[in-house]
Amino acid sequence: MVLADLGRKLNSALSQLNRAPVVDEKVVLDGLLKEITNALLEADVNVKLVATLRKQVKAKVKPALESTDKAKEVQRKNIIHRAIHDELVHLVDPGVEPYKPKKGQPNVIMAVGLQGNGKTTTCTKLAVHYQKRGFKCCIVCADTFRAGAFDQTRQSATKAKVHFYGSYTETDPVAIAAEGVAKFKKERFEVIIVDTSGRHRQESELFEEMKQIQAAVKPDMTILVLDASIGQAAEAQSRAFKESADFGAIIVTKMDGHAKGGGAISAVAATKTPIIFLGVGEHLGDLDRFAPQPFISQLLGMGDIQGLMEHMTDLARQNPDRQKEMTKAFEEGKLSIRDWREQMQNIMSMGPLSKITSKIPGMAGLMEGLAGEGTDEEASTRLKRLICITDSMTPAELDSDGMLFMKLDKDRKPIGLTKRVRRVAKGSGASIREVEEVLMQHRMMANVAKQMGGKNGMLQALKGMG
Ligand code: GDP
C-alpha cells in the first residue's frame, strides 16, 4: 500500500482513541491530534495545511467533548473518527472533477512534466488502463529532445500491445504530435496519448514547446506528471506548469516507497487540480486510480471496495466464464475451497498482492498472515505454495466448505482435525500447519464473501456496472 507508514501511524492513533476508557479534551488534543499532526508532518504535508486540519477537527469535535453524558462515549468516538476521516479527505480533495474520456470519440490526452518524473512510463500505463476498459488506445511520441525517447515508447508500447507513432528523423515535436494525432483520429482511436519532451529544469523553451503542441493537437485533457519524492514542493512545480500549460489533471508517480507522497498529494490538492492516478511501481499495471474518499478510507484501513470492484470488472472483461462462477459463489455467500483457490489465483493475476488485499476490508490481515513483514514477492510465493496444497485434495474436498477437514461436536462446532488433513499434507509435501493455514485462509475469504453477497452486497453493485 502507498504511504503505508503514514497509514500505520494514523491507525495507531485511532486505535488508541478506541481503547481510551474516557474520551476528553486531553485524550483528543494531547494524544490523538498530536499524533496525527506529527504523522502528517513526517509525510511532508505542509505545516499550514496540517494546522488547518487540526483546527477543523477541533471545531467539529468540540460539542461532543463538551457533553458530559458518559453513556455517549461510543458516539463521541464515532464523531471524532468521522471528523478526522472527513478532514483528511478534505486535505487531499481539490474539489474539482477531472475530464473523463468518452467512448466512441477521440479523446486526446497530452502528458507534460520534467524529465525523469516518469512521463513516458505513465503514458504506457495510461494506455493499458484505458485499453482494459475497452478503449482503443495509442501513444504519440512527441519527445524529440531526449535521445532514445522514441525507442523507449516503442518498446513499452509494443510490450503493452498499444499502437504508437513517432519518428527517428523528424525533429519538430509539434509536427510529430499533429501528424500522429491526425492519423490516429482518422483510424478512429478513442484514447490518443501524446507524450511530450521533458527537461531537467523548468525552462522557458520547454514551456513554449508545450504551448505549441497544445495549440496543434488541442488536447481534451493535459496531464502533469509529478514525482512524489519532491513532497510539498509539488505545489510550486504544479503552479509553474499551470502558468504556461493549463493542465486539467495530475498524476503523481513513484508513490511506492516515497514517504513524502502525502506532501505531494496535499500540495497538489491545494492548487485545486485533481489527481487522477498514482504511479505505484515500474510495471505497466502499477497505476492506481486516485479519488480522495477511497484513498483516505484505504489509508485508514477501511478498505476500498470501489477500487476492488474496478479490478474485478477488468478481470471479468478478460474472462467472463471465470467471472460467472465467482459471482455465483459470492452471491450465495458460499465459498468452496475450489472457489477460494480460484479467487486466490484471480487475486494473484490482478497485480501485487498487497494492493488487492488492502482494498478488501479486513483482508489486509491476509497479507500479514502470508508474509508477516515480508515483501509482496514473499507473500506471493507463500500463497502459491498454499494453492499447490489444494492440488492434493479430492474433488469432493475442493467442492466442500472445508468442514470435511474438521472433527465436529454435536453442535457442529470444530473440535479437531480429521485424517484428511494428514493425507493432504503428505500428498503435497506440506506440514499439517500449512494445510491448516489453507483452511484458515479459506474461512477468512468465505467470511468476506458472506459480507459481500446477498441482495445489497458488493456483487449486485458489480453486476450493475456491467
Ligand atoms: P520521463 O523522463 O518522465 O519520461 O520518465 P520515465 O518514464 O523514463 O521514467 C523514469 C524512471 O522512473 C524509470 O526508471 C521508470 O521505470 C521510473 N518510474 C516511473 N514511474 C514510476 C513509479 O510509479 N514508481 C517507480 N518506482 N518508478 C517509476
Q: Which carries the bigger pLDDT value, residue 444 or residue 309?
A: 444
Whether pTM exceeds 0.90: no
H helix intervals, 319-363: 320-331, 337-350, 353-357
Vertex 372 angle, CA 366 and 377, to 5°: 80
Distance 121 CA to ligand 1 centre (A): 6
Q: Which carries the bigger pLDDT value, residue 352 or residue 428?
A: 428
For residue 311, pLDDT over 50 is answered with yes
For residue 358, pLDDT over 80 is answered with no
The CATH number that domain 107-299 falls under is 3.40.50.300
**Nearest Cα to Cα of residue 193 among 152, 168, 223:** 223
Question: What does the domain layout of the chain look like in residue ranges?
Answer: 4-92, 107-299, 305-464
Element (H, E) at 192: strand 191-196
> Is the CB of 402 inside a 6 Å radius of any atom of ligand 1?
no
Query: ipTM score of the complex?
Result: 0.98
Compute the Cα dihedral for 246, 251, 257, 260 and give only its sign: positive
The pLDDT of 184-211, averaged and rounded, is: 86
> Is the CB of 121 inside a 6 Å radius of any atom of ligand 1?
yes
Q: Supply the residue whose CA is at minimum distance from atom 5 of ligand 1.
A: 118
pLDDT score for 55? 92
> Is the CB of 352 inside a 6 Å radius of any atom of ligand 1?
no
Q: Supply the residue whose CA is at minimum distance from atom 9 of ligand 1.
A: 118
> Is the CB of 354 inside a 6 Å radius of any atom of ligand 1?
no
CA distance 263 to 181: 35
Q: 32-81 pLDDT, tens per residue?
A: 899 999 999 988 888 989 999 999 998 988 887 787 676 677 778 878 88
Q: 362-383 pLDDT, tens per residue?
A: 555 555 556 554 566 777 788 8
Architecture of domain 305-464: Orthogonal Bundle (1.10)
For residue 460, pLDDT over 60 is answered with no
The pLDDT of 330-359, averaged and rounded, is: 73
> Is the CB of 119 inside a 6 Å radius of any atom of ligand 1?
yes
The pLDDT of 218-244, averaged and rounded, is: 89
Domain 4-92 has CATH 1.20.120.140: yes
Q: Which residues pair with 111 in a beta bridge?
A: 195, 223
CA distance 240 to 230: 14
Residue 243 pLDDT class (50, 70, 90 cuts): confident
**Nearest Cα to Cα of residue 178 among 190, 191, 168, 192:** 192
**Nearest Cα to Cα of residue 116 among 152, 165, 168:** 152
Contact 160, 128 (CB under 8 A): yes
Distance 451 CA to ligand 1 centre (A): 39
- DSSP state, residue 31: I
